[in-house]
Chains A and B, each alone.
Chain A
């Protein structure tokens, strides 16, 4: 299962180059392999860089949400799920709480079940927090997203609205460094208690190298298996 180093290099290089239209700043693939040495690959058809943002059809729940929270800039688009398509809404950071309270308390929406809260590290486009909500009575599903920049990674906490968010937010803070202010107990959850400055899941945190030989000096003769 461990990654053979050779294949990993090539895969790293390959993934880095393929999707983005390589503006010069990003094109610095980690291992600048001389092009001649690599086998000439057939020209691939230009892959779409970004997922198509199809606006949701009329009458879907983002209208109800917009009505419930007037005057909030919302970018709505469709997102695939196993059962077809669902509505996703991108909201600014400071009107996240009103949108969430409306989604939870509005009788027509009734999105009481916070399924999953995850952080996504988009490297240069900042950090993103994704909330998946769904409701048992009206069977609606909604995804709410907010974007924050690297130098000011603060998002209002929803722990008071949804108790489920309590642990998810602590985990996202451990992994991405997104600070949820207003959280009752933002102590590291998955990392040791004194480690608040190391964020493992960020893209700039590399995997560690495999050490060649371990545990040779622990016990004299442990390594050679003497006698």
Chain B
């Protein structure tokens, strides 16, 4: 006869700590998952392990020195961050950027979107279980793009190449021919990754209808970028709040239907193809010569007192800069609205009820950059 208390064997939920050091947390992100069996009952994300005060230090630096911090905060889409920062300061100072500098900026930002999405494809393959093959394929292409960035700006990762008012110096003279070469290799790279992952039965089984997120929940949580478009909201800053010279190009904006992990992957894959077409159009229209910095640039950049909220479509979403200035050559307050921070706040609602292995896939599909989350 089974004793009374033994009949009611209740299953105890086990808290598991996916700690700051874990192969699939894309950096120092910690989440405590409470799981019963394999199902996730509760998720508490802990961030702040990479909070290193980019905003406070930018307040102590003048406008030329602050560009390095924009790079280091969003270290996978550095040109988008620099573009956002420069647009904010130029709007406050009322500077007109010359034509040639605008085109070069757009070409480099879209190339940077390609290299950031390649990094996502590589990391997402590792989360789904591939033993590194997607990483090596993706990084082979990323290295070609980084070669172009290195020839142009002199550094592989931290470019600091955009300056308030235009560019730091002229690009190399075989720039257009080099970019054409890289675009051919990138198209082959996108086709390789597409064949490796998209039609793979196990990959589809692991990604379809996992972590589905409806459109109005996405808007309520302030998601942006591929996550928002995957949920079915047709919103892209390059078209709906056009900045720089994006209205001159024609490209498509992919929007998903189910908002699950597979749609996010497809949206990013489609965005890579669109970026290639944008770069080709920009290369044709690139004026062969012309100034890259306006003639009358003040020696010390001083902004009139005032505030501006400039936003840019970075590969992860809307990367915004809220710049408050009390005059002088230093920003008084500079808040970086990072897309990874807002996308990550919706992790709990996406993951509760899924399996433990899906929690890893959902976190991977968000493509977060930890320095961007903690600034």
> Known: A116-B335, A163-B220. Contact between A15 and B329, CB under 8 A?
yes
Cα A191 to Cα B49 with chains together (Å): 8
Q: Indicate the member of A167, A201, A207 with the most B CB atoms within 10 Å.
A: A167
Which single member of A8, A48, A82, A118 contacts B91 (CB below 8 Å)?
A: A82
User: Is A136 in the interface zone, CB < 8 Å from B?
Assistant: yes
Q: Tell whether, in the assembled complex, residue B56 and residue A200 are in contact, meaning their CB atoms are under 8 Å apart.
A: yes
> Known: A136-B235, A201-B56. Contact between A83 and B329, CB under 8 A?
no
Which single member of B61, B91, B220 contacts A164 (CB below 8 Å)?
A: B220
Q: Tell whether, in the assembled complex, residue B345 and residue A163 are in contact, meaning their CB atoms are under 8 Å apart.
A: yes
Q: Tell whether, in the assembled complex, residue A47 and residue B309 are in contact, meaning their CB atoms are under 8 Å apart.
A: no
List CB contacts (< 8 Å) of A1-46 with chain B.
1, 3, 8, 11, 14-15, 18-20
Chain B residue nearest in CB terms to A86: B309
> Known: A51-B306, A113-B222, A115-B318. Contact between A18 and B327, CB under 8 A?
yes
The B contact surface, by secondary structure, is mixed
Chain B proximity of A183: nearest CB distance (Å): 13
Cα A14 to Cα B302 with chains together (Å): 12
Residues of chain A contacted by B241 (CB below 8 angstroms) = 82-83
Q: Tell whether, in the assembled complex, residue A81 and residue B330 are in contact, meaning their CB atoms are under 8 Å apart.
A: no
Q: Tell whether, in the assembled complex, residue A15 and residue B91 are in contact, meaning their CB atoms are under 8 Å apart.
A: no
Cα A190 to Cα B372 with chains together (Å): 12
Which single member of A80, A115, A188 contacts B337 (CB below 8 Å)?
A: A115
Residues of chain A contacted by B280 (CB below 8 angstroms) = none
Cα A4 to Cα B250 with chains together (Å): 46
Q: Tell whether, in the assembled complex, residue A189 and residue B220 are in contact, meaning their CB atoms are under 8 Å apart.
A: no
Q: Tell whether, in the assembled complex, residue A163 and residue B320 are in contact, meaning their CB atoms are under 8 Å apart.
A: no
Residues of chain A contacted by B344 (CB below 8 angstroms) = 167
List CB contacts (< 8 Å) of A155-187 with chain B.
162-164, 166-167, 171, 174
Cα A23 to Cα B222 with chains together (Å): 43
Q: Tell whether, in the assembled complex, residue B374 and residue A190 are in contact, meaning their CB atoms are under 8 Å apart.
A: yes
Residues of chain B contacted by A115 (CB below 8 angstroms) = 222, 309, 311, 318, 320, 337
Cα A201 to Cα B56 with chains together (Å): 6
Cα A201 to Cα B332 with chains together (Å): 11
Q: Tell whether, in the assembled complex, residue B322 and residue A191 are in contact, meaning their CB atoms are under 8 Å apart.
A: no
List CB contacts (< 8 Å) of B302-340 with chain A.
304-311, 318, 320, 322, 324, 326-330, 332-333, 335, 337
Q: How large is the interface on A (under 10, 10 to 19, 20 to 34, 35 or more residues)?
A: 35 or more
> Known: A82-B243, A163-B221, A191-B48. Contact between A201 and B55, CB under 8 A?
yes
Chain A proximity of B304: nearest CB distance (Å): 6
Q: Tell whether, in the assembled complex, residue A164 and residue B345 are in contact, meaning their CB atoms are under 8 Å apart.
A: yes
A103-129 vs B, CB cutoff 8 Å, 1 = contact: the mask equals 000000000111110101100000000
B216-260 vs A, CB cutoff 8 Å, 1 = contact: the mask equals 110111100000000001010000111100000000000000000
The A contact surface, by secondary structure, is loop
Residues of chain B contacted by A191 (CB below 8 angstroms) = 48, 51
Residues of chain B contacted by A3 (CB below 8 angstroms) = 60-61, 65
Q: Tell whether, in the assembled complex, residue A83 and residue B47 are in contact, meaning their CB atoms are under 8 Å apart.
A: no
List CB contacts (< 8 Å) of B118-151 with chain A.
none
Chain A proximity of B96: nearest CB distance (Å): 14
Residues of chain A contacted by B60 (CB below 8 angstroms) = 3, 8, 207
Q: Tell whether, in the assembled complex, residue A80 and residue B306 are in contact, meaning their CB atoms are under 8 Å apart.
A: yes
> Known: A47-B304, A167-B345. Contact between A83 and B242, CB under 8 A?
yes
Chain A proximity of B191: nearest CB distance (Å): 34
User: Is A102 in the interface zone, CB < 8 Å from B?
Assistant: no
Q: Tell whether, in the assembled complex, residue A82 and residue B311 are in contact, meaning their CB atoms are under 8 Å apart.
A: yes
Q: Tell whether, in the assembled complex, residue A50 and residue B305 are in contact, meaning their CB atoms are under 8 Å apart.
A: yes
Residues of chain B contacted by A80 (CB below 8 angstroms) = 91-92, 306, 308
Chain B proximity of A175: nearest CB distance (Å): 8
Which single member of A11, A51, A136, A201 contacts B219 (CB below 8 Å)?
A: A136
> Known: A47-B327, A80-B308, A112-B220. Contact between A166 and B61, CB under 8 A?
no
Cα A189 to Cα B305 with chains together (Å): 31
Residues of chain B contacted by A62 (CB below 8 angstroms) = none
User: Is B270 in the interface zone, CB < 8 Å from A?
Assistant: no
Which single member of B306, B308, B324, B329 contacts A120 (CB below 8 Å)?
A: B324
A-B contact pairs, 12 of them (CB 8 A): A1-B68, A3-B61, A11-B330, A18-B327, A51-B306, A79-B308, A81-B308, A82-B87, A83-B241, A115-B222, A118-B322, A143-B309
Q: Which residues of A are in contact with B by a Cβ distance under 8 Å?
A: 1, 3, 8, 11, 14-15, 18-20, 47-51, 79-83, 112-116, 118, 120-121, 130, 132, 136, 139, 143, 162-164, 166-167, 171, 174, 188-192, 200-201, 207
Given contacts A163-B221, A188-B48, A191-B48, 11 further A-B contacts (CB under 8 A): A14-B328, A15-B328, A47-B327, A49-B327, A80-B308, A112-B216, A115-B309, A115-B311, A163-B349, A164-B345, A207-B60
9 A-B pairs closest in CB distance: A164-B222, A19-B327, A118-B335, A190-B48, A51-B306, A116-B337, A167-B345, A15-B328, A190-B51
